Chains A and B, each alone.
Chain A
Amino acid sequence: MTTAMEDPSNAVHLWRSTPWAWMRPDETESTAIRMVLHDVEGAASAALSHASADLFPVVVDGPETTLPDVDDIARHTLAKLDLQPMRLDLNGAHDSTVNLDLRAAGHVAVGRLHIACKGHAVVHVHLSGDAGWCGIHFTGQVANGSTLSVVITDELHHESRVVRCDDWRVGRDATFETGTLSVGGFRRKSDLRHHLDATGGSVRIGLGVHGQESRHDDHHIEIHHHAGHTNSSLVANVACGGRSRSVGTGRLVIDAGADGTDAGQVFRNLLLSQGARADAIPELEVLADDVSAAHGAASASIDEGQLHYLMSRGLDNDEAAGMIVEGFLADAFRPLAAADARRALRDRLTVHLDCARIT
């Protein structure tokens, strides 16, 4: 069996909008997600190899005797299903880029990847395939003084169900930035956790989500400031059309003593049809005294003024709306410092929208 524990109830915050019953895999047999490393550019040294299970926060070892926390049920399930965790070791110089293709096939496809970064590197992860259910768990450690940019473009088959878990740890004076373009899959739950462990650490997160037809996309993003003089920013731009639904929850935790923290998160929803629905719930838990923490959320339909402006320049209604949506989603990635990362996300977005239905 996948797990001995009962499904979390709807009262559990993490699973309130997207019950685990919707997301758990139907089968216990799984296929490993195929990971191929290619196009290592610049001065990066990159090696993909098997990883030990203890690089992941939930370890399944022998017969199950204790039940995991309900918040970790997805991690637990992935740990039980995945027998071949991988690790990517990066020793990068400035401007080095690594491309990693993840291909998910079969009824249930599972992969876990740990990324360890020393130096400076951009990793472009392209997730694709037609798996009926896809579970992926990223963990990572950004070493002291290092900078890691991770771009994730997800173009799984439109009928796939997707569970993604992330656990990133950021060291002293290190920077982790990540951009995710979520356009694939029929139903998705992402539980992304980031930990700033030491002074001077920085996390920047950009998320662009495009909902079409009846797509359901739920992103839960946590940022934990364990040390003072750390900073974080989260920008989540969600455009929903058709009868799609998006849920975005942001949990920002600033530990006691983490003074000098500067953190902000903003969720913006663009509703493209009457049937679309988007909820954004930013949350703060501030236990330190001297911090700057801001959060905001807004939902709106396409601005008539913008539409008229673009139409007055010759674009028809659909072209104008498409340009506004593209700009809106791309704008989520503006905080990312790595130009390569922004460009990769932008290019993928343009290709996606060329074939997508906007409203």
Chain B
Amino acid sequence: MAGGLLDVQGLHATVEETEILRGVDLSIKSGEVHAIMGLNGAGKSTLASVIMGHPAYNVTAGSMQYDGQDLADLEVHERARAGLFMSFQYPSSIPGVQVGTFLRKSVAAVRGEAPKAREFRKELQAAMSVLNMDRSFLGRHVNDGFSGGEKKRLEILQMLLLQPRMALLDETDSGLDIDALKAVAQGINSLSEESGVLLITHYNRLLELVVPDVVHVMIDGRIVQSGGPELAQRLEAEGYEWLMPTA
């Protein structure tokens, strides 16, 4: 399994002393798109949060290697600067901070230097046009008063600007109308071919627009089944019953 851009082995994690992840193994190579599906509470979002270093979670066993580095040695911002990106299911709002200012500072932090104003404007314009976003977005405050769809678009806009090597997208498709879903899918597909992507989703509809190389099913904190895109179709048709452990 090892040798990927992201290698997770035997990962156990708890939140407030409750074990959520119970031995996750996952390896994603550069250029691969993986999807994780599963019932609510299976641990999908926890996995993404733990990889990104959310302080609410404790890793109790196992390892996470990213591009040959042990993630345990990296602070959250260092993970981001190393090319990890997470699109949040419920991104925080930051009142008083304008989107334009936030994006510029974030890009400067990840790239290690402030982008030139004119070039950044062009870059921004191009990315916003992929996502059909209006320029007025830039003057609003980060996620403050945003609709669900607007939040998801802003997450993907950040991804396009930061050009991560590994993107963790946590239910980026939830709450999106058809047009917004297409725009977001276009954004994901326009990521570099060298980037790895981990999609966490409940539905096959996103996977029809962003075709995964591997689909995993997570149940009770473990990946219990992996396969190709046909696995997502089967789940859509039959649900998870056939994968549930028998009593």
Contact = CB atoms under 8 A, between A and B. Distances in A.
B96 A334 contact: yes
A331 B96 contact: yes
User: Taking each of B53, B80, B92, which has the highest tally of chain A beta carbons within 10 Å of its own beta carbon?
Assistant: B92
Given A319-B105, A327-B141, A314 B96 contact: no
Interface residues of A, number: 25
A319 B97 CA distance: 13
Given A319-B105, A323-B102, A313 B96 contact: no
B97 A308 contact: no
Contacts of B85: 312
Nearest to A328: B96
A324 interface: yes
Contacts of A334: 96
B158 interface: yes
Interface in A263-317: 303-306, 308-317
Nearest to B158: A313
Contact of B76 (A306, A308, A323, A331): A308
User: Taking each of A304, A313, A315, A316, which has the highest tally of chain B beta carbons within 10 Å of its own beta carbon?
Assistant: A313
A313 B88 CA distance: 11
Contacts, number: 82
Interface in B48-78: 52-56, 75-77
Contact of A313 (B55, B56, B110): B110
Interface in A306-347: 306, 308-317, 319-320, 323-324, 326-331, 334
A140 B100 CA distance: 37
Contacts of A304: 55-56
User: Taking each of B54, B55, B95, B141, which has the highest tally of chain A beta carbons within 10 Å of its own beta carbon?
Assistant: B95
Given A308-B92, A309-B94, 10 more contacts: A306-B94, A308-B76, A310-B102, A310-B106, A311-B80, A312-B53, A314-B162, A319-B105, A320-B77, A327-B97
Interface of A: 303-306, 308-317, 319-320, 323-324, 326-331, 334
Interface of B: 52-56, 75-77, 79-81, 85-86, 88, 91-97, 102, 105-106, 109-110, 141-142, 158, 162
Query: Which 9 A-B pairs give the minimum distances between C-beta atoms?
Result: A327-B96, A314-B109, A331-B96, A327-B97, A314-B110, A313-B106, A311-B76, A330-B96, A309-B92
